[in-house]
C-alpha cells in the first residue's frame, strides 16, 4: 500500500504514506479506502489517529486534502503544497473513506447502498480497523484516538463504543482506544436545531421576526410541531442569503477571473475554492493510480448511497457511556460555523449537567487567543476562534495546537 510519490507532490517529503483498500466484507465485496500519513519524526512512538469526515456520506479525503492532511492541492488541480500544520506532525493519521459508497470505497453488492446507516457504518469501520492493524501490526498496541467532524459526531462515539464493547467482550484490548475528539459535531437533534436558530439570530443572520416565529411555533423539530414551524424554519435558513454557512465570514468561491488571479498556495490563506482543486486532483487517472484506488469518479459526498436507514436523534447516551469508561472526550468547535454551531455543542453539553472541573478560560497560539476551553467532569469543550465548520482549513495553526494538547492529555496552553 506504500505510495511511491503523489503526482505533483513538493520536494522534501520526509514521511511514509500509504493508501489502499481493506476488505470489510469479502462475500459482499465491500472494501474501504484509506490514506495513511505517518509522522516525519517519532513515527514509532507517536499515537495513531483516525480521522472521519461527516455527511453522512462525505469523504475523509476532504480532511486529508483541505484540512489536516500533509498536503493541500494548488489551484491548478495538479500539484500539491505542504501543510506545515498537518496533524501528522504529532500523530500517524489514517483518513478513512466510510461507509462503502463514499469516495473510493465501494461494494460489489449494490443493495448495500440501500442498507447503509449509522450501525453498519460503525460495524464496517470497526472491521476496517481490526483488519488494518493486521496489515500494520506495529500499531496494534499504539495509543489510538478517533477524531472527526460534523456528522462524525455520530460516527466517532458509535465507533468508539463498538471498540469499547468488543474489548470488553474479548476481555482484552483489541484496539487501544484512548480518546475521541469531535469537531462541530452533530450529536443531538434537539439541541442541534436550537443551536442553529439561536446562532443565526445572535449572529445577525436572522430577523427578530423569524426568531420570534421559531420560538413561538417550534418545540420538537419534528412532525409534532405545527406547520407554522416549518415555514419559519425555511425563513430562517433563507434569510442569511448567499453566504458560506460553514464559515459565516468567509468569501465565496467565485469562479470568475478575478479570484483565479489570487494566489493562495499557503495554508495561512483560506481558499474558498479548495474543494474544487481537490476534486480535480483526485479525478486524475495518474493520481488514482498512485493512490492504488480503483479508477472511478471521486465525489466529495456520495451520490450512490440512496438512503440512510438509522440515525438516532441523539448520541448523548453513548457519550455518557463512554465517559464512564475513562476515555478522554473532547468536543471542539470552530466558532464561526452556523451549520453545527458552537451554540449547539454547548446546549448539548448543558443537557449532560456535568460539574465544571476547570473554569472557562482562553487558550493561545502565537500570542493570540486560539479559543476557549472549559473542562467538565468527563468531557472537555474547546472552541477554536475564527474557525468555521472545517476547523483546520480556516485555522491550521490553532487546530494543530488544539489537537497536540488533546493527544498529550493536556488542556491547550494558556
Q: Are 246 and 274 in contact (CB under 8 A)?
A: no
**Intra-chain end-to-end CA distance of the chain, in Å:** 41
Pairing verdict, β 48-52 and 144-149? parallel
From residue 188, how far is each of 63, 120, 153, 221, 235 by CA, in Å? 23, 20, 9, 12, 22
Please, what is the minimum distance in Å from the beta carbon of residue 309 to a copy of itself? 35
> Of the ranges 126-134, 151-159, 312-320, 363-371, which one interacts with a copy of itself (CB under 8 A)?
363-371
Q: Which of 135, 356, 377, 409 binds a copy of itself (CB under 8 A)?
A: 356
Q: Minimum CB separation from a copy of itself for residue 383, in Å? A: 5
Instruction: Answer yes or no whether residue 202 interacts with a copy of itself by CB under 8 A.
Output: yes
Binding mask 237-276 for a copy of itself (x = CB under 8 A): --xxxxx----xx-xx-x----------------------
Q: Which is nearer to a copy of itself, 265 or 386 (CB)?
A: 386
Omega of the bond leading into 56 within 30 degrees of 0 (cis)? yes
How far apart, in whole angstroms, are the C-alpha atoms of residue 224 and residue 399?
40
How far is it, in rounded angstroms, from Cα 235 to Cα 258?
A: 32
Residue 223 to residue 215: CA distance in whole angstroms: 16
Looking only at residues 18 through 77 of this chain, which bind a copy of itself when binding is defined by CB under 8 A? none
The only residue of 91, 205, 287, 291 in contact with a copy of itself, by rule CB under 8 A: 205
Contact residue for a copy of itself among 231, 286, 303, 368 (CB under 8 A)? 368
Residues 131 and 175: their CA atoms lie apart, in Å, by: 11
Active site residue 337: yes
- Of 218 and 336, nearer to a copy of itself (C-beta) is 336
CA distances in angstroms from 253 to 13, 143, 239, 260, 344, listed in the order given: 30, 39, 20, 10, 27
Decide: helix, strand or coil at residue 209. helix
Residue 360 engages a copy of itself in binding (rule: CB under 8 A): yes
**Of 327 and 381, which CB lies nearer to a copy of itself in the complex structure?**
381
Burial of 304 (0-12, 13-18, 19+ CB in 10 A): middle
* Residue 48 vs 379, nearer CB to a copy of itself: 379
Catalytic residue, chosen from 39, 59, 98, 150, is: 150
Catalytic residue selected from 189, 198, 335, 337: 337
Residues contacting a copy of itself: total by CB under 8 A: 43
Taking CB under 8 A as the rule, does residue 359 contact a copy of itself? yes
Residue ranges in 331-350 that form contacts with a copy of itself under rule CB under 8 A: 333, 335-336, 342-343, 346, 350
Catalytic residue set: 150, 337, 389
Amino acid at each position: 500500500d506504500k505510495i511511491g510519490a503523489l503526482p505533483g507532490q513538493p520536494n522534501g517529503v520526509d514521511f511514509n504514506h500509504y493508501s489502499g483498500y481493506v476488505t470489510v466484507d469479502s462475500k459482499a465485496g465491500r472494501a474501504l479506502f484509506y490514506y495513511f500519513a505517518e509522522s516525519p519524526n517519532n513515527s514509532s512512538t507517536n499515537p495513531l489517529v483516525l480521522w472521519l469526515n461527516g455527511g453522512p456520506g462525505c469523504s475523509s479525503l476532504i480532511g486529508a486534502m483541505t484540512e489536516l492532511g500533509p498536503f493541500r492541492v494548488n489551484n491548478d488541480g495538479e500539484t500539491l503544497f505542504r501543510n506545515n500544520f498537518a496533524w501528522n506532525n504529532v500523530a500517524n493519521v489514517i483518513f478513512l473513506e466510510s461507509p462503502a459508497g463514499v469516495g473510493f470505497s465501494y461494494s460489489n453488492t449494490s443493495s448495500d447502498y440501500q442498507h447503509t446507516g449509522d450501525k453498519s457504518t460503525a460495524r464496517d469501520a470497526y472491521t476496517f480497523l481490526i483488519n488494518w492493524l493486521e496489515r500494520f501490526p506495529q500499531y496494534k498496541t499504539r495509543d489510538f484516538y478517533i477524531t472527526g467532524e460534523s456528522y462524525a459526531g455520530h460516527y466517532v462515539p458509535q465507533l468508539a463504543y463498538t471498540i469499547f464493547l468488543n474489548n470488553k467482550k474479548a476481555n482484552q484490548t483489541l484496539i487501544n482506544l484512548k480518546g475521541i475528539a469531535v469537531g462541530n459535531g452533530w450529536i443531538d437533534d434537539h439541541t442541534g436545531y436550537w443551536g442553529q436558530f439561536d446562532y443565526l439570530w445572535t449572529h445577525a443572520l436572522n430577523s427578530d421576526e423569524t426568531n420570534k416565529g421559531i420560538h413561538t411555533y417550534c418545540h420538537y423539530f419534528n412532525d409534532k410541531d405545527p406547520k407554522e414551524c416549518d415555514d419559519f424554519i425555511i425563513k430562517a435558513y433563507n434569510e442569511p442569503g448567499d453566504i458560506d454557512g460553514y464559515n459565516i465570514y468567509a468569501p465565496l468561491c467565485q469562479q470568475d477571473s478575478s479570484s483565479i488571479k489570487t494566489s493562495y498556495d499557503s495554508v495561512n490563506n483560506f481558499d474558498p475554492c479548495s474543494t474544487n482543486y481537490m476534486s480535480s486532483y483526485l479525478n486524475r487517472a495518474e493520481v488514482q493510480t498512485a493512490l492504488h484506488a480503483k479508477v472511478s469518479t471521486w465525489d466529495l459526498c456520495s451520490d450512490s448511497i440512496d438512503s440512510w436507514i438509522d440515525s438516532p436523534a441523539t448520541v448523548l447516551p453513548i457519550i455518557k457511556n463512554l465517559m464512564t469508561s475513562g476515555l478522554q472526550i473532547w468536543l471542539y468547535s470552530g466558532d464561526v460555523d452556523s451549520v453545527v454551531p458552537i451554540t449547539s455543542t454547548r446546549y448539548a453539553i448543558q443537557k449532560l449537567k456535568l460539574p465544571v472541573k476547570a473554569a472557562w478560560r482562553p487558550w493561545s497560539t502565537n500570542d493570540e487567543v486560539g479559543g476557549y476551553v472549559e473542562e467538565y467532569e468527563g468531557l472537555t469543550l474547546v472552541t477554536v476562534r475564527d474557525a468555521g465548520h472545517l476547523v483546520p482549513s480556516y485555522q491550521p495553526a490553532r487546530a494543530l495546537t488544539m489537537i497536540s494538547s488533546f493527544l498529550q492529555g493536556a488542556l491547550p496552553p494558556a
